[in-house]
């Protein structure tokens, strides 16, 4: 768990625009800290938490928003785009759906039948994943999708290429066999890509407008961290699992 939200307790050298006591959300540098499951954490990137976003949502938002923004930027998703997201009900997928819709894209999202109502709530047209996906997408889209984003890593890349017609229109963040098919893999800083950190401020603004929320499926106190990790590893995958801890300035979620 690398995402975190809380009150600013100390401001590092060179940081401007934030002061002690400000409410923020973001993520830690996992290579330096190992994770964010702690009462105190040093954020590597952050944005101001809006009042409309609960602490649970904020604590789950950072890396999902950054990853989704980076992927949508790299694909060039914009108004009028028809985008297929494979794995639309997961932590990154649910965020990517909403950010793509905010850009004016039409989004089709894959998921298990029991997740279709959830995917619809996010703003996407749900379809079942698996063999025959290209035909199902053509039925709901009236033709091919313009672009496809794989966040599930479920071995669907050949289907996604069939959906869009070309490997260049597909991006994966979870299937490292992609290059064998000509599909690019987005690895963020590890791949030398431009980051998507600017998406945090946008997500905050969309939250204030009632156009963005972070799906949270379970919340655990810090002393039940093992249970939280176990819950994150099993389905249904409808959003994020969150750990809560008391702030030094008082009891908060």
pTM above 0.85, yes or no: yes
Only one residue has tokens 């229109």, namely 169
pLDDT in tens, 211-252: 999 999 889 888 888 888 888 777 667 778 888 887 544 444
| CB-CB contact of 253 with 244 (8 Å) | yes
Establish how many alpha carbons lie within 13 A of residue 107's alpha carbon, considering only the half-sphere containing its beta carbon: 32
211, 205 Cβ separation under 8 angstroms: no
- Rounded distance between C-alpha atoms, residue 15 and residue 26, angstroms: 15
First-last CA distance in the chain: 16
* Cα 150 to Cα 183: distance, rounded to the nearest angstrom: 10
pLDDT digits (tens, 9 = 90+) for 12-39: 888 889 999 999 999 998 767 667 777 7
Calpha distance 130→159 (Å, rounded)? 8
């Amino acid at each position: 768990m690398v995402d975190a939200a809380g009150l600013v307790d100390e401001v590092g050298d060179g940081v401007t625009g934030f002061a002690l006591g400000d409410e923020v959300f973001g993520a830690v540098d996992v290579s330096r800290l190992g994770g964010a499951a702690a009462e105190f954490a040093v954020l590597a990137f952050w944005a101001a938490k809006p009042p409309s976003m609960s602490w649970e949502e904020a604590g789950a938002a950072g890396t999902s928003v950054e990853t989704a923004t980076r992927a949508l930027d790299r694909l060039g998703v914009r108004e009028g785009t028809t985008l297929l997201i494979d794995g639309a009900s997961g932590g990154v997928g649910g965020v990517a759906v909403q950010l793509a819709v905010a850009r004016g894209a039409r989004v089709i999202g894959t998921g298990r039948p029991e997740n279709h109502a959830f995917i619809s709530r996010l703003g996407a047209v749900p379809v079942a994943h698996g063999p025959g996906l290209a035909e199902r997408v053509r039925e709901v889209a009236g033709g091919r999708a313009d672009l496809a984003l794989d966040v599930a890593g479920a071995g669907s890349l050949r289907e996604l290429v069939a959906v869009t017609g070309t490997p260049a229109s597909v991006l994966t963040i979870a299937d490292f066999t992609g290059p064998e098919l000509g599909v690019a893999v987005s690895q963020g800083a590890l791949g030398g890509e431009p980051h998507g950190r600017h998406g945090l401020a946008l997500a905050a603004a969309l939250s204030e407008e009632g156009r963005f929320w972070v799906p949270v499926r379970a919340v655990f106190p810090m002393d039940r961290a093992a249970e939280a990790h176990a819950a994150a590893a099993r389905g249904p995958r409808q959003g994020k699992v969150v750990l809560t801890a008391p702030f030094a300035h008082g009891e908060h979620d």
